Chain A
Amino acid sequence: DTGVSQDPRHKITKRGQNVTFRCDPISEHNRLYWYRQTLGQGPEFLTYFQNEAQLEKSRLLSDRFSAERPKGSFSTLEIQRTEQGDSAMYLCASSFPQNEQFFGPGTRLTVL
């Protein structure tokens, strides 16, 4: 199966710690997206890349969040100084431009 993969699937951390998540997109896709989803809500856009260029970043995203896609393949999302409000499912998706997105299984973050 060459779908979108995310690692880790679950992360439990203490408030104030830094965490990093990884996403491996479908190899032919040049767009990669990060979303956050909490219970009872739809995925909330965080940022997206076309190849290695970060094209858009949500204004809701504080400067504690940073994402990279250094070689236009996999991407990492880092959250610094985590807060309890960061607890959520973090979703990654990939696509061709202007096409449907293929989602990974998500990383569930719990901040204690």
Chain B
Amino acid sequence: AQSVSQHNHHVILSEAASLELGCNYSYGGTVNLFWYVQYPGQHLQLLLKYFSGDPLVKGIKGFEAEFIKSKFSFNLRKPSVQWSDTAEYFCALSPGKSTFGDGTTLTVKP
């Protein structure tokens, strides 16, 4: 069975603060890992993905994530958040179907 755990349900930051959202997964085989974002009133959309190769992956809008196989982790980071980053963030893994974490709501205060 595969599962994804996101540690923080709600994070509140001020603009320019650094962000790290935790994601741990459980799966015995080769994984593909994703971070999706859902801005208020919009569809889920891809932030970044890891399939293989360099464990540090860069995505859109200055986000990056690091795959640490030994820790079964794929944490999302951004050095300086903006008010427009206010959204819900989901970590997901696949092969085949995707299994999602329960999400982290990020609120950035101007």
CB 8 Å contact bits of A34-61 with B (1 = contact, 0 = none):
0100001111110010000001100000
Nearest CB in chain A: distance from B82 CB, A: 23
Q: Is the CB of A100 within 8 A of B46?
A: yes
Nearest CB in chain A: distance from B7 CB, A: 14
Contact of B102 among A3, A41, A48, A100 (CB under 8 A): A41
Chain B residue contacts of A74, Cβ below 8 A: none
Q: Is the CB of B98 within 8 A of A33?
A: yes
For chain B, which range describes its interface: under 10, 10 to 19, 20 to 34, or 35 or more residues?
Answer: 20 to 34
Nearest CB in chain A: distance from B9 CB, A: 8
Q: Is the CB of A33 within 8 A of B97?
A: yes
Q: Is the CB of A42 within 8 A of B103?
A: yes
Task: Tell yes or no: B16 within 8 A of A by CB.
Answer: no
Contact of B43 among A42, A98, A100, A105 (CB under 8 A): A105
Q: How far is A105 from B43 in the complex, measured between Cα atoms in Å?
A: 5
B46 to A, closest residue via Cβ:
A100
Q: Which B residues are within 8 Å of any A CB, using their own CB?
A: 4, 9, 32, 34, 36, 43-46, 49, 51, 90, 92, 94-103
Q: Identify the 5 closest CB pairs spanning chains A and B, nearest first.
A: A42-B100, A103-B44, A45-B97, A100-B46, A43-B100
Q: Which A residues are within 8 Å of any B CB, using their own CB?
A: 3-4, 33, 35, 40-45, 48, 55-56, 91, 93, 98, 100-106
